Structure 1
Amino acid sequence: MIPLSVLDLAPIVEGATAGQAFRNSAGLAQLAERLGYRRFWMAEHHSMPGIASAATAVVLAYVGSQTSNIRIGAGGIMLPNHAPLTVAEQFGTLESLYPGRIDLGLGRAPGTDQAAAHALRRNLASDENQFPRDVVELQEYFRGESGGVRAVPGEGLNIPLWILGSSLFGAQLAAMLGLPYAFASHFAPQMMMEAVSVYRERFKPSEQLAKPYVMLGFNAIVADTDEEAKRLATSVQQAFVALRTGRPIQLPPPKAGYLEELPLEGRALLRSILSVSAIGSRETARHQLQQFVDRTKPDELMVTSQVFDHEARLKSYELLMTAVQQTSETPTTG
């Protein structure tokens, strides 16, 4: 059975608040822990009315307090927005609170638009080499090799780093540093196969990792019937179209006939963005997920389910896990 993990954006649904989104995240993490999901990650985004996880380390501290053993982490921290020392201290704090449970995924995108990136950083002057240097600097803080400046807490703690990406850049960096690689195929699948191939071919063992480890993002919206799952999926479809047309929104309720109303370019956009997905009944989702795993051969899947109704979202994760367990228990022939 392939390990499954959860990626949560703390979605703020239409008419709700960030506080409710955080409580829903804690409830989802508790369910994921009971069902056997391996990790519960949250992503850093800014200036997005439908995503509440901007202060990622803070909300992870809350989720950690509501769970017992599931690994929690960032998927990811957008490193250009932060000084590496600050990240080391924040995640050193989390590891000190929840020993052996913290992951730190790192991305080089801002997780927002240029205006918000400027508000975060004040200075956008950088080059493509800055992200690798920042990752190495962060490693030095955890190892206590920073040359005088110390991350307290953080120094001497074993916090696994991951490189996130949706292009060849992240794949090459993860391979060079010998770190696990998480590809954002749940919203940017275009370069997935090439990036994974580059990462596996160029991987150099490190103190953290002896052989390549690939985690792929995967959308899953599972319900009792195919029709109900497709209806639930119209929420994330509306949100993606709004985001890609420059007007991000709170996660809206499902809308019957939404796809049929879209112009052809809108439908093509969604086909591209959401091509790595399982949307349907438990049996349909099991088949779609298995096809994806057979084609890509990941070591782990990071599942996201953007569903308007919280109870339906919980049920989606539960049905998916039972579907995967059913697959692993089915005897093979031949």
Structure 2
Amino acid sequence: MIPLSVLDLAPVCEGSDAAASFRNTLDLARHVERLGYRRYWLAEHHNMPGIASAATAVLIGYVASGTSTIRVGSGGVMLPNHAPLQVAEQFGTLAALYPGRIDLGLGRAPGTDHATARALRRYFDSAEAFPNDVVELLGYFEPAQPGQAVRAVPGAGIEVPVWLLGSSLFSARLAAALGLPFAFASHFAPDAMTQALARYRQEFKPSARLQAPHAMLALNVVAADTNDAARRLFTTLQQSFVNLRRGKPGLVPPPIDDIEAYWSPTEKIGVEQALACAVVGDPATVERGIADFVDRHRPDELMLTANIFDHAARLRSFEIAMAAAAAGAR
């Protein structure tokens, strides 16, 4: 069976707050750990009222401290927002505290709007230096050399798996050139998925970190006991994407009965294109959907995400998804 992992944005739902979001995040992490999921990743976003994972490294430490076996990491840290040395120190600290359980996924987008990106970067106006920053960051995890002027303390000599994340050919080709594992953001930007996977695998160069290409795809999976219930739960994510496109990101909305009354025909086309990699339905539907997606694209791992308003329904969705994937693999 293909390994399954979880991508969490620490959603802040209407009528709730960040503190409740963090409690739910830890509860979900413990739940999926018991179910056998491999990784639990959190994503860096800023100035988004419905996403509480801005201080990603802090939240990773919170989740890792409350779990025992599942790998915990970033999906990802947006490197242009940070100095490579600071990221190495943060994740070196996490890896020292939780050895063998920390992943570092890196992205080159700001994870926010232009005004907030400027506020974050201050002296850095673009992601053009991303390849050099990745190389610099990787160097800080190497054993420190005599006379080395700058070292990550902790970080130097500590094993931290580094992934590159992306939704285009750029990061796919960079991951291949550097010999790193690659995760594609197919859960919200699937257009270049097939081409990016092909380029990554064709151009991969073995490295000390990785001998053969290793690719992970993200997939929206919203599961419930019936198809109708799952489709209703999915309207939360559909509304969130519409709101974002309208320039009005807010708290995570509750599901609605009629999504057609919420969006315009143009908005519907755009959202359905963005969420094309989604499996929504009852256990049998989810079993077929996951199996078909894996057969078609052949990822080495699959990362599931589910932006569901009700926490209990979210727990149940990941439970159904794991059972469905196991059944489909038999």
Question: TM-score, normalising length from structure 1?
Answer: 0.96
Task: Write the distance in 2 (CA, Å) between the matches of 1:270 and 1:56.
Answer: 27
What amino acid maps onto 1:131 in structure 2?
A: F
Q: Higher mean Cα deviation, 115-124 or 208-217?
A: 115-124
Does 2:165 align with 1:143?
A: no
Superposed, 1:139-178 pairs within 5 Å as: 139-144=138-143, 147-178=148-179
1:132 aligned residue: 131
2:186 aligned residue: 185
Report the CA distance between 1:123 and its aligned residue.
2.5
Three-state SS of the structure 1 residue aligned to 2:237 is helix
Report the CA distance between 1:203 and its aligned residue.
0.1
Does 2:245 align with 1:239?
A: no
Report the CA distance between 1:162 and its aligned residue.
0.2
Size of the alignment, in residue pairs? 328
1:332 aligned residue: none
What amino acid maps onto 2:136 in structure 1?
A: E
Contact preservation (8 Å) 2:73, 2:104: yes
**Sequence identity (%):** 57
Report the CA distance between 1:249 and its aligned residue.
1.0
Three-state SS of the structure 2 residue aligned to 1:269 is helix
1:205 aligned residue: 206
2:34 aligned residue: 34
Contact preservation (8 Å) 2:179, 2:209: yes
Contact preservation (8 Å) 1:144, 1:150: no
Report the CA distance between 1:127 and its aligned residue.
5.6
Does 2:277 align with 1:262?
A: no
What amino acid maps onto 2:279 in structure 1?
A: A
Contact preservation (8 Å) 2:118, 2:125: no
Task: Write the distance in 2 (CA, Å) between the matches of 1:36 and 1:288.
Answer: 20
Superposed, 1:271-282 pairs within 5 Å as: 271-282=272-283
Report the CA distance between 1:125 and its aligned residue.
2.8
Contact preservation (8 Å) 1:213, 1:299: yes
Task: Write the distance in 1 (CA, Å) between the matches of 2:127 and 2:240.
Answer: 31
Runs of 4 or more, structure 1, over 4 Å off, are none
Task: Write the distance in 1 (CA, Å) between the matches of 2:143 and 2:266.
Answer: 52
Three-state SS of the structure 1 residue aligned to 2:222 is strand
1:91 aligned residue: 91
Q: 1:65 to 1:127 in 2, by over 3 A?
A: closer
Report the CA distance between 1:328 and its aligned residue.
2.0
Report the CA distance between 1:259 and its aligned residue.
2.6
Q: 1:310 to 1:198 in 2, by over 3 A?
A: same
Superposed, 1:1-334 pairs within 5 Å as: 1-126=1-126, 128=128, 130-144=129-143, 147-329=148-330
Three-state SS of the structure 1 residue aligned to 2:116 is helix
Task: Write the distance in 1 (CA, Å) between the matches of 2:260 and 2:286.
Answer: 20
Three-state SS of the structure 1 residue aligned to 2:302 is strand
What are the Cα deviations for residues 132-188 of structure 1, in whole angstroms up to 9, with x where unaligned? 100000011110458410111111000000000000000010000000000000000
Task: Write the distance in 2 (CA, Å) between the matches of 1:10 and 1:211.
Answer: 32
Contact preservation (8 Å) 2:144, 2:157: no
Report the CA distance between 1:288 and its aligned residue.
1.1
Contact preservation (8 Å) 1:185, 1:192: yes
Task: Write the distance in 1 (CA, Å) between the matches of 2:246 and 2:293.
Answer: 29
What's the Cα RMSD here? Answer: 1.0
Three-state SS of the structure 2 residue aligned to 1:143 is coil
Q: 1:260 to 1:295 in 2, by over 3 A?
A: farther
Unmatched segments (≥5 aa) in structure 1: 330-334
Contact preservation (8 Å) 1:215, 1:299: yes
What amino acid maps onto 2:34 in structure 1?
A: R
What amino acid maps onto 1:203 in structure 2?
A: F
What amino acid maps onto 2:192 in structure 1?
A: M
Q: 1:68 to 1:127 in 2, by over 3 A?
A: closer
Report the CA distance between 1:210 and its aligned residue.
0.7
What amino acid maps onto 1:162 in structure 2?
A: W
Unmatched segments (≥5 aa) in structure 2: none
Task: Write the distance in 2 (CA, Å) between the matches of 1:276 and 1:286.
Answer: 15
What amino acid maps onto 1:160 in structure 2?
A: P
